[in-house]
């Protein structure tokens, strides 16, 4: 079983469009068993918008804890507010009323819990979101949704990937395609953990090389082999050439160039991968990238 993780330095580069196309190509190709799909961008999970899955299972995800003050036990000493580094304890205007907890500001560090002299504070686990197992046209899909104002620490990303891996082991799937989150933060590290190969989707913009360099530093730090594809490669040839030169200097293979075409938007509106919607230049480029990625994946591990 191999894990392919698709990353990008920022949102909006076309990472999910590439992941959806790969899901379609894996299902229609010569794979004896289609791939399992995992949307690890739990902050803005949108692979489901293209794959239109039917939810089979929904599970609550409990994240961190927040402080709860018992008004009956609290002596209004103010110690909790003094030790809170996040200014999450709001003192009342009068000393007769207990303070309240700003649940959004509370980081769950429990400093107030340990320092309260009357044990009037408890730490209460919070429902942070849900994760789902769904059935899509191109194979099983695991995805998730964070609740508003909940912090994405990477734990939910790990949960999504773990469930995809368990199903792959149980049912003999040969490939997991992970649509990762953008950037280089904790969720990205969780998504990339255990990957056999990373495909970085970049675009020829002023910040393209900078964003690409950050992601490559992350993958190299964890010893993950990486490939690069350039989306909308024909919009700004000078920046495309700069990305090519950057990758050449660092020995990173550029496996393909996707031209700009409004057909991608049309496919998204129809809720279809572009490779299933059209046989034009974009679909041809994605098919070539898919074949080169599969060749590289076979040679690793």
What sign does the dihedral 260-263-268-269 (CA atoms) show? positive
Q: How many CA atoms lie within 13 A of 226 on its CB side?
A: 26
Q: Are residues 119 and 144 in the same domain?
A: no
Q: Residue 290: pLDDT above 80?
A: yes
Extract long-range pairs of 126-130: CB within 8 Å, 24+ residues apart: 126/62, 126/63, 126/64, 126/65, 126/66, 126/150, 127/60, 127/61, 127/62, 127/63, 128/61, 128/62, 128/63, 128/64, 128/156, 129/42, 129/60, 129/61, 129/63, 129/156, 130/58, 130/59, 130/60, 130/61
Picking from 71, 92, 127, the residue at the C-terminal end of a domain is: 127
Tokens (6 digits) for 37: 């799909």
Q: Residue 278: pLDDT above 60?
A: yes
What is the domain-level CATH number for residue 286? Answer: 3.40.50.300
Picking from 96, 127, 158, the residue at the C-terminal end of a domain is: 127
Residue 227 lies in a domain: yes
Residue 132 lies in a domain: no
pTM of the model: 0.87
Distance CA 292, CA 297 (A): 9
Q: Are residues 69 and 156 in the same domain?
A: no
Q: Are residues 104 and 211 in the same domain?
A: no
Picking from 106, 127, 148, the residue at the C-terminal end of a domain is: 127
Residue 107 lies in a domain: yes
Q: Are residues 104 and 214 in the same domain?
A: no
What is the domain-level CATH number for residue 101? Answer: 3.30.70.20
User: Whose CA is closest to 135, among 51, 247, 17, 23?
Assistant: 51
Q: Are residues 95 and 11 in the same domain?
A: no
Q: Are residues 118 and 246 in the same domain?
A: no
Residue 112 lies in a domain: yes
- Alpha-carbon distances, residue 24 vs 31, 58, 136, 189, 273 (angstroms): 11, 24, 10, 26, 7
**Residue 117 pLDDT class (50, 70, 90 cuts):** very high
Q: Residue 97: pLDDT above 90?
A: no
Q: Are residues 183 and 247 in the same domain?
A: yes
Q: Are residues 14 and 116 in the same domain?
A: no
State the pLDDT at residue 206. 80
Q: Give residue 96's domain range.
A: 63-127
State the pLDDT at residue 30. 57
Question: Residue 37 in contact with residue 3, Cβ under 8 Å?
Answer: no
Helix (H, G, I), strand (E, B) or coil at 125: strand
Residue 160 lies in a domain: yes
Average pLDDT over residues 188-206: 92
**Which residues, in sequence order, are CB contacts of 289 under 8 Å at separation 6+?**
18, 199, 229, 255, 256, 258
Residue 169 lies in a domain: yes
Tens of pLDDT, residues 228-267: 999 999 999 999 999 999 999 999 999 999 999 999 999 9
**Residue 205 pLDDT class (50, 70, 90 cuts):** confident
Number of domains comprising the chain? 2
- Alpha-carbon distances, residue 276 vs 27, 137, 175, 176, 265 (angstroms): 11, 11, 20, 20, 13
Q: Are residues 233 and 89 in the same domain?
A: no
What is the DSSP track for 12-55?
TSSHHHHHHHHHHHHHHSS-SSPPEEEE--TTS--HHHHH-PEE
List alpha helices for 124-279, DSSP H. 155-171, 186-192, 208-221, 237-249, 263-269, 274-277
Q: Are residues 68 and 46 in the same domain?
A: no
State what percent of residues in the chain have pLDDT above 70.
96
Q: When comparing pLDDT for 122 and 30, which is higher?
A: 122
Q: Residue 42: pLDDT above 90?
A: no
The gap from C-alpha 281 to its chain's centroid, in whole angstroms, comes to 28
Q: Are residues 145 and 289 in the same domain?
A: yes
Q: Are residues 142 and 219 in the same domain?
A: yes
Residue 120 lies in a domain: yes
Tokens (6 digits) for 38: 């995992």
Question: Residue 5 in contact with residue 219, Cβ under 8 Å?
Answer: no
State the pLDDT at residue 67. 94
Average pLDDT over residues 168-196: 91
Distance CA 96, CA 85 (A): 24
Residue 57 lies in a domain: no
């Amino acid at each position: 079983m191999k894990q392919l993780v698709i990353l990008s330095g920022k949102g909006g580069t076309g990472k999910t469009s590439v992941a959806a196309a790969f899901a379609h190509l894996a299902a229609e190709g010569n794979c004896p068993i289609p791939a399992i799909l995992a949307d690890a961008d739990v902050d803005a999970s949108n692979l489901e918008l293209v794959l239109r899955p039917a939810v089979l299972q929904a599970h609550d995800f409990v994240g961190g804890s927040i402080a709860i003050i018992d008004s009956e036990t609290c002596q209004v000493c103010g110690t909790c507010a003094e030790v809170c580094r996040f200014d999450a304890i709001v003192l009342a205007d009068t000393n007769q009323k207990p303070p309240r907890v700003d649940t959004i500001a509370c980081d769950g560090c429990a400093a107030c819990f340990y320092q309260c002299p009357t044990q009037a504070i408890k730490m209460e686990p919070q429902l942070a979101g849900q994760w789902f197992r769904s059935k899509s046209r191109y194979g099983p899909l695991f995805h998730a949704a964070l609740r508003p104002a909940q912090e994405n620490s990477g734990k939910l990303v790990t949960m999504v990937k773990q469930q995809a891996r368990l199903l792959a082991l149980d049912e003999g799937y040969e490939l997991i395609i992970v649509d990762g989150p953008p950037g280089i933060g904790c969720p990205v590290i969780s998504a990339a953990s255990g990957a056999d190969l990373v495909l970085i989707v970049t675009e020829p913009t002023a910040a393209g090389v900078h964003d690409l360099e950050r992601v490559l530093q992350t993958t190299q730090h964890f010893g993950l082999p990486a490939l690069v594809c350039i989306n909308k490669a024909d919009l700004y040839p000078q920046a495309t050439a700069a990305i090519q030169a950057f990758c050449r200097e660092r020995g990173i293979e550029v496996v393909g160039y996707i031209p700009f075409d409004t057909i991608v938007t049309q496919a998204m509106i129809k809720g279809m991968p572009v490779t299933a919607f059209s046989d034009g230049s974009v679909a041809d480029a994605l098919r070539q990238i898919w074949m080169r990625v599969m060749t590289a994946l076979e040679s690793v591990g």
